């Protein structure tokens, strides 16, 4: 099945099964804003909880905070967001569609990569086992031609971005003959800057003096609390402060479902360290983040760590890695890890006049300096989407009576992320089974999110649980409860069916809790 079709199916699956609903659905929705249903909120909370625990519980030198969405407007001036949190936008005069000029050029770069990869794949097929990819890439005429064009474009693009040269961005689009995907024409407007921050007013009067912004990132709440946190925790460097919270960006080209939205959540860590140790800590967090993503069950082949070239780095950053995930619509950034040096704290120190320093040593040996910071910044929505994409599967499990494929849709979540850890299914709705099944449900619900379902055939109920990714279905049957009148003793066992293997095992009720516990560890 084409990846586009898989994605469409996933989006409708999310709505159908209570994961993600378009916001304001009964009013035809609101562009690029989504609500999380009963399943989605559990999945999202499980991801956030795992992230929080990985930071705050597993690191003795990391604490969490929760800062407000509204902040003093000068913060956004100091951080550079008022002047530079812009995207270059361009319109196509024929289709009247608006695009990010940088994204059009990035897509063009990806086209060169595709061409190169196709040549390599063709040659690999032709030469079989004898194929030497590195040699082919460095000697094949067509590959070298595409690569040279790509490199030249990349260099020109990076320079235009760094110089903030909007005319040059437009010229690149014209020179590369990039056309509007809708109208197919090159009838482009000038490139203009567009600030992505949402503005509103605080108080009763609506004038520029009362302007406040909806924060476009949570990080500034951490930087501006640096002095408060350091003083009250009395932490020595290195130490980190993290938070999870809402951010807002008036994206020019939102889309791809919950990948690029206007209201989203971020999980951000600011890890403060001594200048000079920063690159070491950058490596630590780069590896940590990679392992974390594997830990939530993402497939390594769908992950790519893209280190920024020196010319691509922001002027204050010493190193940046984008963790990209292969979504059905292509590679997209999931997590950004950056060495931001002392840029943010210095900016706030200079603007507020408050010292943002760390003091080391005692008496006359004391030195003070602005710490450097490593920032891993992960989007909750993009994590949810990556997990859903990796988990969604359609499996042919047999044939129906008419000979058509019997397809089961299953979400292979890591058990710890699954909204329900288990479902209790009495084989019959009758009180004799429903009563004990409900008792079991009440017992397990004290420990885990557990579903209870007594309607429909057991096969249909298994399928429903597969569709929401419940790892274990627990069936209470007549052997479980026995039959006193017939002198049949209860065996106090249940059948546990595994979502992924569909295998069933008989297990004493008394072992259920520890069994599930052992399976939902990360
Ligand atoms: P992009 O280049 O995709 O716009 P970015 O580089 O601007 O992303 P950052 O500012 O580094 O993103 O934000 C950190 C993380 O926040 C991103 O890696 C992503 O997971 C998430 N994020 C950023 N913008 C959005 C958005 N509009 N919708 C959903 N998640 C987002």
- Segment 291-333, tens digit of pLDDT: 999 999 999 999 999 999 887 888 899 999 999 999 999 999 9
Cβ of residue 145 lying under 6 Å from some atom of ligand 1: no
d(CA 259, CA 306): 18
> What letter would DSSP give residue 188?
B
Q: Residue 281: which H helix or E strand, with range?
A: helix 278-295
Cα-to-centroid distance, 374 and ligand 1 (Å) = 17
Atom of ligand 1 at shortest range from CA of 268: 14
Cβ of residue 334 lying under 6 Å from some atom of ligand 1: yes
Task: Name the pLDDT band for 253 (thresholds 50, 70, 90).
Answer: confident
Q: Where are the alpha helices (DSSP H) in 128-218?
A: 133-139, 141-162, 166-175
For 159-215, write each residue's pLDDT tens digit. Answer: 998 888 999 999 999 999 999 999 999 999 999 999 999 999 998 888 878 899 999
Cβ of residue 382 lying under 6 Å from some atom of ligand 1: yes
Atom of ligand 1 at shortest range from CA of 254: 27
Cα-to-centroid distance, 221 and ligand 1 (Å) = 17
d(CA 462, CA 456): 10
Handedness of CA 267, 273, 277, 278 (dihedral sign): positive
Closest C-alpha to ligand 1, atom 14: 377
Of 291, 431, 383, which Cα lies nearest the Cα of 49? 383
> What letter would DSSP give residue 129?
G
The answer to whether 331 and 259 have CB atoms below 8 angstroms apart is no
Cα-to-centroid distance, 93 and ligand 1 (Å) = 28
Atom of ligand 1 at shortest range from CA of 323: 18
pTM of the entire structure? 0.90
pLDDT (average), residues 496-505: 97
For the cut 90, the answer to whether the pLDDT of residue 498 exceeds it is yes
Cα-to-centroid distance, 379 and ligand 1 (Å) = 6
For the cut 90, the answer to whether the pLDDT of residue 370 exceeds it is yes
For residue 17, the SS3 value is coil
Of 260, 329, 386, which is best to mutate to test ligand 1, by the most ligand atoms within 8 angstroms of its C-beta? Answer: 260
Tell me the residue ranges of DSSP E strands in 313-404.
Answer: 319-327, 330-339, 358-360, 367-369, 372-379, 392-399
The residue with tokens 């063009």 is 108
Cβ of residue 335 lying under 6 Å from some atom of ligand 1: yes
Cβ of residue 260 lying under 6 Å from some atom of ligand 1: yes
Listed in sequence order, the residues at least 6 apart from 317 whose beta carbon sits closer than 8 Å to its beta carbon are: 308, 338, 339, 340, 341, 343
Closest C-alpha to ligand 1, atom 25: 260
The answer to whether 324 and 304 have CB atoms below 8 angstroms apart is yes
The answer to whether 507 and 477 have CB atoms below 8 angstroms apart is no
- Measured from the Cβ of residue 262, the count of other Cβ atoms closer than 10 Å reads 19
The answer to whether 151 and 159 have CB atoms below 8 angstroms apart is no
Atom of ligand 1 at shortest range from CA of 249: 27
Assigned token pair, 96? 């009247």
Listed in sequence order, the residues at least 6 apart from 198 whose beta carbon sits closer than 8 Å to its beta carbon are: 213, 214, 248, 249, 250, 262
pLDDT at 265: 98
For the cut 80, the answer to whether the pLDDT of residue 1 exceeds it is no
pLDDT (average), residues 439-461: 96
For the cut 80, the answer to whether the pLDDT of residue 451 exceeds it is yes
Closest C-alpha to ligand 1, atom 23: 379
DSSP letters of 47-90? HHHHHHIIIIIT-TTEEE----S---HHHHHHTTHHHH-EEEEE
pLDDT (average), residues 101-109: 95
d(CA 135, CA 149): 19
Of 420, 460, 415, 423, which Cα lies nearest the Cα of 441? 423
- Residue positions counted in the chain: 522
What crossing angle do the helices spanning 431-445 and 509-519 adopt, rounded to 10°? 40
d(CA 220, CA 288): 23
CA angle, 508 then 511 then 515, to 5°: 125
For 50-97, write each residue's pLDDT tens digit. Answer: 999 999 999 999 999 999 999 999 999 999 999 999 999 999 999 999
The residue with tokens 């494929």 is 405
Cα-to-centroid distance, 320 and ligand 1 (Å) = 14
Cα-to-centroid distance, 161 and ligand 1 (Å) = 18
d(CA 405, CA 377): 43
Listed in sequence order, the residues at least 6 apart from 181 whose beta carbon sits closer than 8 Å to its beta carbon are: none
Average pLDDT, the chain: 95
């Amino acid at each position: 099945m084409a990846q586009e079709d898989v994605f469409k199916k996933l989006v409708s699956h999310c709505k159908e099964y209570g994961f993600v609903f378009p916001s304001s659905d009964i009013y035809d929705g609101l562009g690029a804003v989504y609500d999380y249903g009963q399943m989605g909120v559990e999945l999202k909370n499980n991801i956030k909880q795992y992230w929080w625990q990985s930071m705050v519980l597993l690191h003795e030198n990391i604490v969490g905070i929760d800062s407000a969405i509204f902040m003093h407007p000068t913060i956004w001036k100091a951080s550079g967001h008022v002047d530079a949190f812009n995207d270059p936008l361009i319109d196509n005069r024929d289709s009247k569609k608006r695009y990010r000029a940088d994204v059009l050029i990035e897509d063009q770069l990806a086209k060169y990569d595709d061409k190169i990869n196709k040549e390599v794949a063709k040659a690999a097929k032709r030469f079989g086992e004898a194929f030497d990819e590195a040699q082919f890439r460095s000697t094949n005429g067509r590959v070298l031609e595409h690569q040279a064009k790509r490199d030249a474009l990349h260099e020109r693009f990076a320079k235009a971005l760094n110089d903030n040269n909007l005319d040059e961005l437009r010229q690149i689009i014209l020179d590369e003959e990039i056309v509007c995907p809708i109208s197919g024409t090159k009838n482009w407007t000038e490139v203009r800057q567009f600030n992505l921050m949402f503005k509103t007013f605080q108080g009763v009067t609506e004038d520029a003096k009362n302007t406040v912004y909806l924060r476009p990132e949570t990080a500034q709440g951490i930087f501006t609390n640096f002095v408060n946190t350091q003083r009250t925790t009395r932490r020595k460097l290195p130490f980190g402060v993290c938070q999870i919270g809402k951010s807002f960006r008036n994206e020019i080209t939102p889309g791809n479902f919950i990948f690029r939205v206007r209201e989203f959540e971020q999980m951000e860590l600011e890890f403060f360290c001594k200048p000079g140790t920063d690159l070491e800590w950058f490596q630590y967090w780069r590896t940590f983040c990679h392992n974390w993503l594997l830990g939530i069950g993402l497939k390594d082949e769908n992950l790519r760590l893209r280190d920024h070239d020196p010319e691509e780095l922001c002027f204050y950053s010493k190193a940046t890695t984008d963790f990209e995930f292969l979504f059905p619509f292509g590679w997209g950034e999931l997590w950004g890890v950056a060495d931001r040096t002392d840029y943010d704290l210095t900016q706030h120190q200079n603007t507020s006049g408050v010292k943002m320093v760390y003091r080391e040593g005692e008496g006359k040996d004391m030195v003070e300096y602005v710490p450097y910071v490593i920032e891993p910044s992960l989007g909750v929505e993009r994590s949810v989407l990556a997990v859903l994409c990796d988990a969604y599967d359609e499996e042919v499990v047999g044939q129906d009576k008419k000979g058509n494929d019997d397809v089961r849709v299953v979400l292979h979540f890591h058990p710890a992320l699954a909204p329900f850890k288990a479902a209790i299914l009495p084989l019959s709705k009758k009180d004799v089974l429903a009563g004990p099944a409900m008792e079991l449900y009440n017992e397990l619900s004290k420990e885990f999110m557990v579903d209870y379902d007594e309607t429909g055939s057991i096969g249909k109920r298994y399928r429903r649980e597969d569709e929401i990714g419940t790892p274990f279905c627990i069936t209470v049957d007549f052997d479980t409860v026995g039959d006193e009148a017939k002198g049949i003793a209860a065996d106090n066992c249940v059948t546990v069916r595994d979502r992924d293997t569909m295998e069933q095992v008989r297990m004493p009720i008394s072992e259920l809790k520890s069994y599930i516990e052992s399976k939902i560890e990360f």
